[in-house]
Amino acid sequence: MLRESPSAFGSDYHESAARPLAHFRDRVRNDPENFIIGAFTPESPGGSRTIVGSAGAFREQEAKRRHIATVVGMYVHPEYRRRGIARALLAGVLTRLESLPGLEQIQLSVTLGNEQALALYRQAGFEIYGREPAALKVDGRDYDELLLSRRCP
Domains of the chain: 6-151 (3.40.630.30)
Map residue 121 onto helix, strand or coil.
helix
pLDDT of residue 43: 79
Q: Select the more confidently predicted residue: 32 or 46.
A: 32
Per-chain mean pLDDT for the chain: 86
- φ and ψ at 78, to 5 degrees? -50, -35
Nearest 10 degrees: CA dihedral of 91, 89, 19, 131?
-60
pLDDT of residue 4: 54
